[in-house]
Amino acid sequence: MKKEKNIGVTQKAIVIRSDGKFLTIRRSKTAPSHPLAWDLPGGELDYGEDPVAGIAREVREETGLEVKNLKPFDVFGHENPVGFWVTIAYTSEAVNDTVAISFEHDDFKWVTKEEFLKLPASPKIIRFIENAFTFQ
């Protein structure tokens, strides 16, 4: 009998402020993966949820920010012990810049690409940052 495999979809957003800096949030020390690494707002897409509405919801839940002009620019797939995950990455513009991080994170910064690349982050997030700013 063949074992069922899980497939999940997650999303991440690069939220860019009017001065060109973008938001990064630090995962808490209790995060299930990459604790204390710098991250981007995002999370799992709910079953049947519109992807753009889903990433806007995740940004709002994790940062308190509203975003506009969400544009997908990259996709990344990887396997882990839970299953196979596909992550869609977006660029977006912050409507405001008053951040209220969720319990999942313990710090935030508005940074440039160069500043971000000096911070500890997962390979997937580094890829998204490098790819997002290649085309600008």
* Per-residue pLDDT tens over the stretch 66-118: 999 999 999 999 888 778 999 999 999 999 989 999 999 999 999 999 999 99
The model's confidence at residue 6, banded by pLDDT at 50, 70 and 90, is confident
Query: What pLDDT was estimated at residue 75?
Result: 97
Q: Say what the pLDDT of residue 4 is.
A: 67
CA 56 – CA 60 distance, rounded (Å): 6
Residue ranges per structural domain of the chain? 7-132
Write the Ramachandran bin of 51: left for phi over 0, alpha for psi from -120 to 50, otherwise beta. Answer: alpha
pTM, two decimal places: 0.91
Percent of the chain surpassing pLDDT 70:
96
Residue 1's pLDDT band, with cuts at 50, 70 and 90, is: low
- The matching CATH number, chosen from 3.90.79.10, 3.30.200.20, 3.40.50.300, 3.40.30.10, for 7-132 is 3.90.79.10
- Check if the beta carbon of residue 104 is closer than 8 Å to that of residue 27: yes
